[in-house]
Amino acid sequence: MAQTPKIAVAMTVNGQDVSARLEARTLLVQYLREGLRLTGTHVGCDTSQCGACVVHVDGKAVKSCTILASQCEGAQVMTIEGLAHGDKLHPMQEAFREHHGLQCGFCTPGMIMTAVDIAQRLGTPDEHTIREELEGNICRCTGYHNIVKAIDAGCQEMAKGQHRQAAE
Amino acid sequence: MTKTGIGASVKRKEDQRFITGNGQYTDDVSRPGHVHAYFLRSPHAHAVIRRLDIAAAKGAPGVLGVFTGDDLAADKIGGLICGWMIHSKDGSAMKAGAHPALAQGKVRYVGDHVAVVIAETLAEARDGAEKIIVDYEVLPAVIDTAGAQAAKTQLHDVAPRNTVFEWAIGDKAATEAAFGAAHHVTKIDLVNNRLVPNAMEPRAAIGEYDPGQGAYTLWTTSQNPHVARLVLSAFIGIAPENKLRVIAPDVGGGFGSKIFIYAEETVAVWASKKVGRPVKWVSDRTEAFLSDAHGRDHVTHAELAMDAKGKILGLRVKTIANLGAYLSTFSSSVPTYLYATLLSGQYDIPAIYAEVDAVYTNTAPVDAYRGAGRPEATFVVERIIETAARQMGLDPADLRKRNFVRKFPHQTPVIMMYDAGDYRASLDKAMEIADVKGFGKRKREAARRGRLRGLGYSTYIEACGIAPSQAVGSLGAGVGLWESAEVRVNPTGSVEVLTGSHAHGQGHETTFAQLVSERLGVPMESINIVHGDTDKVQFGMGTYGSRSGAVGMSAIVKALDKVEAKAKKVAAHLLEASEADIDFKDGKFTVKGTDKSVAFADVALNAYVAHKFPTSEIEPGLKEGAFYDPTNFTFPAGCHICEVEIDPETGVTEIANYTAVDDFGVLINPMIVEGQVHGGIAQGIGQALTEGAVYDASGQLLTASYMDYCMPRADNLPSFKLGFTETRCPSNPLGIKGCGEAGAIAAPAAVMNAMTDALGTEAVTMPATPQAVWKVAQSQQKLAAAE
């Protein structure tokens, strides 16, 4: 069998410049998990429904199982591991802990990355909107009740943070 | 109550690693030089393998080994087992067909394991598998649960009429007599739809062989790693227990599906020695749909005998339970002792008789899924009582009240001895929270908008805290169902608790620590809960059946009792007082009636330094272990009320209100308990409205991805209204009953009682998808127009 062709890929992941020669078919999630050992991004399905693999690419939520690593050439990628500032958790991470928005933790990284994206796009949406925005993220443990509460609280906190920044 | 003690909603200790992406699930484990396994699975539901040619696959790029059932047999690797013996009415043992980890001559469901390819990369393993040539002689498939016994095709030579067992419970003659005296008989036919558990983390395994030690290590997505080791060692024959370490690290949800010992981990650990490299297998989602043990799949006819005043006289039930193509690890117990023993519900029913026929079909094995038997029982009891109330023109809440068990202990006609409860209290509280009084107004208001609004109750009971070992042994269980704990106090006063329970979302690292913190006065951050590793924890039975609070924590209590007793002896020497005069409270040992005291940490240090007491009388150190065997099941119960609103033009159902009032006994951490209830309800609503595993007549699974199997999303569900009542469980030291499964047990009946109320007919089946509901709504409208 012919050797699968490899291509050079370079991007920024959680603020670090990284580059590699990868098989062209390598998905972003494979590169993150296996190449960079950033195993916080999870794979829960084969069909882009579950959202456990959501990361940010150039500031937008993207399912990393549905994009090739090579499509992220030159991109700014942020994973769950890059969300906190050192020991200081991101307000959305805090909100998930505060409101018991996770149980087994498997869907959580994707949920949090999606939630941050929701806050960035919509500010402080109502419960109905949050539920509709979660269409692409499946959780089997929580019944979403506390995830919705956590996202609501996290959105409020992020909005306050922006007000503070604006005031300063 | 202290800030972190029993009853406090302490934030979870485990969350830090999960919200920062630092959890360590099996697929996150990377071993030096590990290679990848890919299973070639049967594309046919039922076929004889005429020829299996692996020569080309063996030579494919990157392939290190290709193995079949013959290789396992040559190494004397045994088949997968079912650990619960059920006897039929005629006394004969259940008919267990052979269940090889890799097929031997025949495949019996789509997804059955034909061969494994092990290669440097997963892509190479998949490519290699494509070079395997299999010549199948396709046989007719048996799919239909109700039709399996009459099918011309037989799956296993040992099981005529595809029947595993024909089992019965209760007093047949007394029940016939009750029906003879009945004023009214309600009859109902129910299908309890087949579900796929769908933990978000797919199953995975890494096997590794250490030739220096002659020992294996298996990382696996297990709810009970010690049971996995026992089965892999004693029955399957991988290695003796002392040469097999099983580690279940962070596990991303289980819901029952990760109790069982499957082909994949068996093969991965065995093959690691064959290829001389660690072998990793990770299920993809479609493989999970095909090969994880499914749940439910009952077809039931039930009849309820009532007197003229609405008092229940008797219940008779006939159920056919589909167990799939092979008997999974605990499958036989689910439609028998976990099901029919709960058919008395919350009611005082003088006579019950139930027959259960279990059948083989060419579908994935069926085993315990969240609730395991108890959701099926609750669905029968709560659907038939609601139907009886409607037929007799009685209020469904009143009919329930008339029949509630009021005196405890209460012996049902189907084995169980209910120990404590107040069913009226949870019903009343739920009716108040759900504002049942205002329902009529809401229904009228909905009608003005062209919507059909309905309300349904589910006053459920379940048996948890599984289980008294002797009792389950007498019913056929192959194991005891106690739990173990070890409390290790370090010299500096920090504490490690080793438990045989396993957490995969339940928050044991927090709740178990709350118990220890309260008892020893040690801060939460100084307590570590250790679980999931057979090299650390000596033995344990794992987590399922809502047993970890009632059984697992009770074992910790026993160990803590011993730690306290030993520490008191040491403290007595330190305080130069008699042991009988020592009190222990808030982390301090005090001499009664004096201000002389010593802190727990100082006692711990002195226990290890061992300078101040005679070691001829007191051994140094502070470490105690305990095994706790429960004396009874526990009986969580409660009342769930669901209110739905249906758009008859589209068939779309909205859960307008969902109220749950549960009696779980003492709550350790209400925040975590509420989370368990939320998740259970969501799975129950999923069963009622969206989820269903569907095989076509040839045995192809039509619902093998999230495109086709409808998992509840956030916008399918409401926020839930929760309440609690409390009657202490008398059979364990903490008074805990268990909370993990209640939602999934109660919800399907509550939702379907609301659906049938809204639509005005009992002829609504699960899952009540928009299409199904639309059809019923249309035919109801036609009926109404004709009248």
Alpha helix (H) residue ranges in B104-165 = 122-129
Same domain, A108 and A53: no
Among A56, A82, A108, which residue terminates a domain? A82
Q: Which domain holds residue A149?
A: 91-167
CB contact under 8 A, A108 and B19: yes
Give the mean pLDDT of B746-756: 98
**Rounded distance, CA B559 to CA B625, Å?**
5
Our CA-based measurement puts residue B288 at a distance from the nearest CA of chain A, in whole angstroms, of 9
The share of chain B scoring above pLDDT 90, in percent, equals: 98
Same domain, A125 and A158: yes
- Listed as own residue / partner, the contacts of B652-657 with beta carbons closer than 8 Å and 24 or more positions apart are B652/B770, B652/B773, B653/B689, B653/B755, B653/B768, B653/B770, B653/B773, B654/B718, B655/B685, B655/B689, B655/B716, B655/B717, B655/B718, B655/B751, B656/B442, B656/B453, B656/B718, B657/B434, B657/B718, B657/B721
Our CA-based measurement puts residue B179 at a distance from the nearest CA of chain A, in whole angstroms, of 42
The pLDDT value recorded for residue B787 is: 80
The pLDDT value recorded for residue B1 is: 60
Tens of pLDDT along B18-38? 999 999 999 999 999 999 999
- B21, B198, B504 member nearest A40 (Cβ): B21
The pLDDT value recorded for residue A165 is: 81
CB contact under 8 A, B253 and A104: yes
pLDDT exceeds cutoff 80 at B419: yes
The pLDDT value recorded for residue B518 is: 96
Please give the residue of chain B at the shortest CA–CA distance from A25. Answer: B123
Tens of pLDDT along B218-234? 999 999 999 999 999 99
- The CATH number covering residue A110 comes to 1.10.150.120
**Rounded distance, CA B626 to CA B497, Å?**
11
Residue A1 is assigned to a structural domain of this protein? no
Residue A154 is assigned to a structural domain of this protein? yes
The pLDDT value recorded for residue A52 is: 98
The pLDDT value recorded for residue A163 is: 81
B-chain residues within 8 Å CB-CB of A146? 675, 678
Give the mean pLDDT of B6-12: 97
CB contact under 8 A, A97 and B11: yes
CB contact under 8 A, B675 and A142: yes
CB contact under 8 A, A145 and B507: no
Our CA-based measurement puts residue B533 at a distance from the nearest CA of chain A, in whole angstroms, of 18
Residue A140 is assigned to a structural domain of this protein? yes
Give the mean pLDDT of B472-485: 94
B-chain residues within 8 Å CB-CB of A41? 21
Stronger pLDDT, B154 or B786, i.e. the higher one? B154
Same domain, A145 and A107: yes
Same domain, A62 and A112: no
Mean pLDDT of chain B: 97
Please count the structural domains in chain A: 2
The pLDDT value recorded for residue A118 is: 98
Residue A30 is assigned to a structural domain of this protein? yes
Ordered by where they begin, the domains of chain B are: 32-139+197-291 (3.90.1170.50), 482-628 (3.30.365.10)
Residue A16 is assigned to a structural domain of this protein? yes
Low-confidence ranges of chain A (pLDDT < 70): 1-3
Confidence of residue B495 (pLDDT cuts 50, 70, 90): very high
- A4, A104, A142 member nearest B201 (Cβ): A104
Tens of pLDDT along B468-477? 999 999 999 9
Contact in structure between B587 and B599 (CB atoms under 8 Å): yes
pTM of the entire predicted model? 0.97
The pLDDT value recorded for residue A3 is: 61
The share of chain B scoring above pLDDT 70, in percent, equals: 100
Same domain, A159 and A104: yes
Tens of pLDDT along B255-271? 999 999 999 999 999 99
Among A55, A82, A109, which residue terminates a domain? A82
Among A82, A106, A137, which residue terminates a domain? A82
Same domain, A116 and A162: yes
CB contact under 8 A, B504 and A96: no
Same domain, A163 and A122: yes
CB contact under 8 A, A140 and B21: no
Same domain, A96 and A155: yes
User: Is the bond preceding residue B467 a cis peptide, omega within 30 degrees?
Assistant: yes
Tens of pLDDT along B626-666? 999 999 999 999 999 999 999 999 999 999 999 999 999 99
Same domain, A68 and A104: no
Same domain, A12 and A76: yes
The pLDDT value recorded for residue A166 is: 80
Same domain, A60 and A120: no
Give the mean pLDDT of B574-596: 96
Side-chain half-sphere exposure of A119, counting CA atoms within 13 A: 25
- B22, B712, B714 member nearest A40 (Cβ): B22
Residue A109 is assigned to a structural domain of this protein? yes
Tens of pLDDT along B693-737? 999 999 999 999 999 999 999 999 999 999 999 999 999 999 999
- The CATH number covering residue A19 comes to 3.10.20.30
Residue A52 is assigned to a structural domain of this protein? yes
Could you report the predicted ipTM of this complex, rounded to two decimals? 0.97
**Rounded distance, CA B295 to CA B458, Å?**
21
Token pair belonging to B382: 């709560």
Counted across chains A and B, CB pairs separated by less than 8 A come out at: 183
Same domain, A23 and A75: yes
